[in-house]
């Protein structure tokens, strides 16, 4: 029956039960091949051993077994949304109302008297269970622990977690047992690591918690090791290649421009600028990360560096992740360079064809000094005449490949990355391998502190009053709903519900909605309407880009704030406080733990991003699923840069040693690693053969 296949790099359609349609659903999760599927790890396991309801806590996620007690009740909202509720008798004692959303098709399965296993969140006061999964199979016995550790996958509306579980099981049985080892044997020995194939199995379907932990330990090491191997390979290749350009900056012109600015640079800005200029003057290609809180004046520093490059007779480019950010940067740089004769252009996906052609020509002929744009900048038909400096904003939003592509548009131009995410310095150096780091850890004088409050959910009416007050004074506000990893449907639903609720409470205002299922055009349009003040309040999920400068926005409300990391809360809070008016941040949260409460208090007391990042590091525990997402750090499937920092350091040293070793390249000791590097595009074949 089950064969053993060796090639994992084949379409998921090879699996029984995955046809064309399913394959296209899976590809939306980034799963194309069997390998992708096997490497699609659950973000947690749930203990589905059945509990006595008497022991369950309010709001706890529980699994119950009971009998359908009465006919299910189904209601539709619109054409697609529905609510199915059914009463279930548990242990002959408790009557629980099970509620399911958008599963109208399940109605006929719930026949009275039938035994059912349900998992979901329990509202103990109302004895109501919001169901996430249900099954009519016999439940696993409580003592059979293994069976009850069920993997939970991050899914979307087309693909369910249980479908994934089934397909991954199949894929593993057919393909997984032969997965070759990729790590060097001496390292496996030294750290007593579990084999690759075994680790993959136990990450999905652990036989015990201990095995899961060993599997995880192995995969964390592997991810870090391979990542560092790539970074150090780049570094070695760069070292072997020609040097970067030496930029002869006209200091007088630059200083003259600095003197025209309506402010004096802070000390931190000055020293960051000096770092950058000295990199640019040297014949090494600059590869520097500029970190600083929102509003700390990074863009001003970058603009001066770009100006420096232009005074050296070169061109500059600034790449940002979204069109609206590109437009905003374009406007602010235009005013920053008012009074100079710089030719500045804006190039995005929606630039008109005719204008695009003119810009292409202008860049190629060197008539344009500075271009600001999105991904449009890395299209093949963009050629520069003499690109000197590339600035990449919110660097983590671009992949390594995209960053390299822009870099390749010049003759080894200098590159400056910017991020508003405070990352402790040591971590940044390790995370980005070969990058130098400059930090702006000082805000310009006179900035108003954002007043931060923490309120309980029960005080939401007061929050609405506060929103009303701010909007009534002509200000604008954001309301952020948290991301729900289990399901983007629930996630979007959350935001939709909040939007409806606020519209009802505040009918006199235009209230917008932003969520991950909107197209990027729709999102941009909404953000534009907000920026133009046509919309006063925007309800948004965190997946949505809110990195836009709207100085009139003075209020940030964050729902379920305990579900976010401190750094993330700080990032969100930084969306306000950009104008002349006093700004506020309201954290709505009912944290259940001491640490949770401490976090809320830290947010109230601290406005320094680096301090918060450090605290985040200290307070984080395992099970913090909202960890590195959007933190500006590279993301891994299993590993977490902050939590697994020690392993990261070890893996870095191991990878660096290997790469420095000429034998690694010449004798091809570890062909599987060389192959990996080639597959990842870190090595072109000519570097080897």
The region that residue 289 occupies, defined by phi over 0 for left and psi between -120 and 50 for alpha, beta otherwise, is beta
Distance CA 440, CA 81 (A): 48
Q: Smallest distance, Å, CB 266 to Mg ion?
A: 15
Residue showing tokens 């002509």: 474
- Token pair, residue 504, equals 């009802």
Cβ proximity to ligand ADP, 391 vs 589, nearer residue: 391
Q: Are 529 and 557 in contact (CB under 8 A)?
A: no
Cβ proximity to ligand ADP, 295 vs 424, nearer residue: 295
548 binds, among Mg ion, ligand ADP, none (CB under 5 to 8 A by kind): none
Cβ proximity to ligand ADP, 133 vs 395, nearer residue: 395
294 binds, among Mg ion, ligand ADP, none (CB under 5 to 8 A by kind): ligand ADP
Taking CB under 6 A as the binding criterion, the range among 209-217, 287-295, 536-544, 653-661 that sits at the site for ligand ADP is: 287-295
Taking CB under 5 A as the binding criterion, the range among 294-302, 394-402, 519-527, 581-589 that sits at the site for Mg ion is: 294-302
How many residues bind ligand ADP (CB under 6 A)? The answer is 13
Q: Are 677 and 229 in contact (CB under 8 A)?
A: yes
Site for ligand ADP contains 573 (CB under 6 A):
no
Q: Which of 265, 325, 412, 437 binds ligand ADP (CB under 6 A)?
A: 265
Q: Are 147 and 140 in contact (CB under 8 A)?
A: yes
Q: Smallest distance, Å, CB 605 to ligand ADP?
A: 23
- Token pair, residue 559, equals 């729902």
HSE-up of residue 558 (Cα within 13 Å, Cβ side): 29
Q: Are 40 and 164 in contact (CB under 8 A)?
A: yes
Q: Are 53 and 38 in contact (CB under 8 A)?
A: no
Site for Mg ion contains 299 (CB under 5 A):
yes
Site for ligand ADP contains 607 (CB under 6 A):
no
Taking CB under 6 A as the binding criterion, the range among 103-111, 115-123, 295-303, 430-438 that sits at the site for ligand ADP is: 295-303
How far is CA 515 from each of CA 158, 354, 632, rounded to the nearest angstrom?
Answer: 17, 33, 21
413 binds, among Mg ion, ligand ADP, none (CB under 5 to 8 A by kind): none
Q: Which of 263, 399, 426, 675 binds ligand ADP (CB under 6 A)?
A: 263
Distance CA 202, CA 45 (A): 11
Is residue 352 helix, strand or coil? coil
Distance CA 161, CA 200 (A): 17
Handedness of CA 500, 502, 507, 509 (dihedral sign): negative
326 binds, among Mg ion, ligand ADP, none (CB under 5 to 8 A by kind): none
Site for ligand ADP contains 149 (CB under 6 A):
no
- Token pair, residue 139, equals 């439940």
Query: How many of the other CB atoms lie within 10 Å of CB of 604?
Result: 14
Q: Where are the beta strands (DSSP E) in 424-496?
A: 436-440, 451-455, 476-481
Q: Smallest distance, Å, CB 439 to ligand ADP?
A: 12
Taking CB under 6 A as the binding criterion, the range among 31-39, 52-60, 123-131, 259-267 that sits at the site for ligand ADP is: 259-267
Q: How many residues does the chain have?
A: 689
Site for ligand ADP contains 612 (CB under 6 A):
no
Q: Smallest distance, Å, CB 301 to ligand ADP?
A: 7
Distance CA 376, CA 372 (A): 10
Distance CA 103, CA 487 (A): 14
Q: Which of 132, 140, 154, 269 binds ligand ADP (CB under 6 A)?
A: 269
Taking CB under 6 A as the binding criterion, the range among 230-238, 258-266, 347-355, 609-617 that sits at the site for ligand ADP is: 258-266
Site for ligand ADP contains 444 (CB under 6 A):
yes
Q: Smallest distance, Å, CB 586 to Mg ion?
A: 24
Q: CA dihedral in degrees (641, 645, 650, 654; nearest 10)? A: 20
By beta carbon distance, the residue nearest Mg ion is 299
Q: Which of 441, 453, 426 is nearest to 611 (CA)?
A: 441
H or E segment and range at residue 52: none
Task: Mark 621-640 with x for binding to ligand ADP (rule: CB under 6 A) and - for no binding.
Answer: --------------------
Q: Are 673 and 181 in contact (CB under 8 A)?
A: no
Q: Which of 296, 351, 554, 567 binds ligand ADP (CB under 6 A)?
A: 296
Taking CB under 6 A as the binding criterion, the range among 89-97, 121-129, 296-304, 504-512 that sits at the site for ligand ADP is: 296-304
Q: Smallest distance, Å, CB 320 to ligand ADP?
A: 11
Footprint of ligand ADP on 332-361 (CB under 6 A): none
3-state helix, strand, coil in the chain (%, to 5): 45, 20, 40
Site for ligand ADP contains 299 (CB under 6 A):
yes
Q: Smallest distance, Å, CB 298 to Mg ion?
A: 6
Cβ proximity to Mg ion, 27 vs 332, nearer residue: 332
Backbone angles phi, psi at 31, to 5 degrees: -105, 110
Q: Which of 202, 218, 288, 298 binds ligand ADP (CB under 6 A)?
A: 298
Q: Which of 297, 422, 433, 627 binds ligand ADP (CB under 6 A)?
A: 297
444 binds, among ligand ADP, Mg ion, none (CB under 5 to 8 A by kind): ligand ADP
Q: Smallest distance, Å, CB 262 to ligand ADP?
A: 8
Taking CB under 5 A as the binding criterion, the range among 27-35, 296-304, 369-377, 379-387 that sits at the site for Mg ion is: 296-304
Distance CA 462, CA 434 (A): 49
295 binds, among Mg ion, ligand ADP, none (CB under 5 to 8 A by kind): ligand ADP
Burial environment of residue 672 by CB neighbours within 10 A (0 to 12, 13 to 18, 19 or more): exposed
Q: What is the DSSP string of 627-650?
A: SSTTTTSPP-SS--TTTTHHHHHH
Q: Which of 18, 220, 300, 306 binds ligand ADP (CB under 6 A)?
A: 300
Cβ proximity to Mg ion, 294 vs 481, nearer residue: 294
Q: Which of 1, 7, 61 is nearest to 34 (CA)?
A: 7
Cβ proximity to Mg ion, 66 vs 321, nearer residue: 321
Site for Mg ion contains 161 (CB under 5 A):
no
Q: Which of 139, 244, 292, 565 binds ligand ADP (CB under 6 A)?
A: 292
Q: Which of 545, 429, 423 is nearest to 480 (CA)?
A: 545
Site for ligand ADP contains 295 (CB under 6 A):
yes
Q: Smallest distance, Å, CB 291 to Mg ion?
A: 12
How far is CA 396 from each of CA 149, 421, 433, 631, rounded to the nearest angstrom?
Answer: 34, 10, 14, 9
- Contact residues: Mg ion, CB under 5 A: 299
Interface with ligand ADP by CB under 6 A: which residues? 263, 265-266, 269, 292, 294-300, 444
């Amino acid at each position: 029956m089950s064969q053993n296949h060796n090639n994992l790099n084949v379409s998921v359609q090879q699996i029984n039960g995955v046809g064309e349609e399913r394959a296209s659903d899976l590809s939306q999760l980034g799963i194309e091949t069997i390998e992708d599927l096997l490497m699609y790890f659950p973000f947690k396991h749930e203990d589905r051993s059945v509990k006595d309801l008497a022991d369950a806590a309010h709001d706890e996620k529980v699994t119950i077994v009971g009998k359908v007690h009465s006919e299910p009740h189904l209601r539709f909202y619109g054409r697609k949304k529905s609510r199915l509720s059914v009463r279930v008798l548990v242990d002959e004692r408790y009557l629980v109302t099970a509620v399911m959303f958008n599963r109208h098709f399940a109605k006929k399965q719930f026949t009275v008297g039938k035994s059912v296993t349900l998992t979901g969140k329990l509202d103990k006061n109302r004895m109501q269970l919001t169901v996430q999964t249900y099954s009519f199979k016999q439940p696993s016995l409580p003592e059979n622990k293994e069976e009850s550790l069920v993997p939970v996958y991050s899914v979307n509306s087309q693909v369910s977690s249980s479908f994934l579980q089934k397909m991954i099981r199949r894929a593993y049985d057919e393909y997984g047992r032969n997965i070759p080892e990729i790590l060097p044997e001496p390292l496996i020995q030294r750290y007593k690591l579990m084999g690759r194939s075994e680790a993959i199995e136990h990450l999905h379907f652990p036989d015990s918690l201990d095995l899961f932990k060993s599997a995880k330990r192995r995969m964390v090491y592997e991810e870090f090791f391979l990542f560092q191997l790539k970074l150090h390979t780049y570094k070695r290749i760069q070292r072997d290649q020609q040097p970067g350009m030496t930029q002869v900056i006209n200091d007088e012109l630059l200083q003259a421009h600095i003197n025209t600015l309506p402010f004096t640079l802070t000390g931190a800005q000055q020293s960051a600028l000096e770092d950058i200029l000295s990199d640019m003057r040297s014949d090494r290609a600059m590869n520097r990360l500029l970190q600083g809180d929102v509003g700390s004046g990074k863009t001003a520093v970058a603009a001066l560096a770009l100006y420096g490059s232009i005074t050296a007779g070169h061109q500059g480019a600034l790449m940002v992740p979204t069109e609206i950010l590109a437009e905003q940067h374009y406007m602010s740089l235009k005013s920053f360079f008012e009074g100079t004769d710089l030719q500045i252009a804006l190039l995005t996906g929606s630039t008109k064809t005719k204008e695009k052609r003119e810009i292409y020509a202008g860049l190629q002929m060197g008539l344009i000094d500075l271009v600001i744009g999105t991904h449009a900048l890395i299209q093949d038909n963009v050629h520069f005449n003499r690109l000197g400096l590339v600035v990449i904003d919110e660097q983590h939003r671009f992949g390594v490949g995209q960053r390299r592509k822009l870099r390749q548009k010049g003759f080894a131009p200098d590159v400056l990355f910017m991020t508003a995410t405070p990352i402790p310095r040591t971590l940044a150096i390790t995370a980005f391998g070969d990058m130098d780091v400059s930090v702006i850890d000082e805000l310009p004088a006179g900035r108003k502190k954002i007043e931060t409050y923490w309120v309980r959910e029960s005080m939401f009416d007061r929050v609405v009053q506060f929103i009303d007050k701010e909007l009534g004074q002509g200000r604008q506000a954001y309301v952020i709903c948290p991301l729900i990893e289990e399901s983007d449907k629930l996630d979007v639903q959350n935001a939709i519900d909040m939007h409806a609720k606020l519209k009802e409470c505040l009918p006199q205002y235009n209230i917008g909605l932003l969520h991950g299922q909107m197209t990027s055009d729709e999102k941009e349009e909404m953000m534009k309407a907000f920026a133009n003040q046509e919309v006063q309040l925007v309800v948004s999920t965190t997946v949505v880009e809110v990195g836009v400068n709207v100085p009139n926005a003075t209020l940030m409300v964050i729902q379920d704030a305990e579900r976010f990391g401190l750094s993330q809360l700080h990032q969100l809070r930084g969306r306000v406080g950009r104008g002349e008016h006093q700004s506020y941040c309201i954290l709505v949260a009912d944290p259940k733990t001491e640490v949770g409460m401490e976090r809320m208090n830290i947010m109230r007391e601290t406005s320094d991003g680096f301090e918060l990042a450090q605290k985040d590091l200290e307070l984080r525990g395992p099970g913090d699923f909202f960890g590195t997402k959007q933190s500006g750090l590279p993301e891994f499937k299993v590993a977490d840069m902050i939590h697994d920092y020690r392993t990261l350091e070890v893996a870095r040293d191991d990878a660096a040693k290997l790469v420095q070793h000429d034998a690694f390249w010449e004798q091809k000791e570890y062909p599987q690693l060389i192959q990996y590097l080639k597959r990842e595009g870190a090595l072109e074949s000519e570097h080897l053969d």
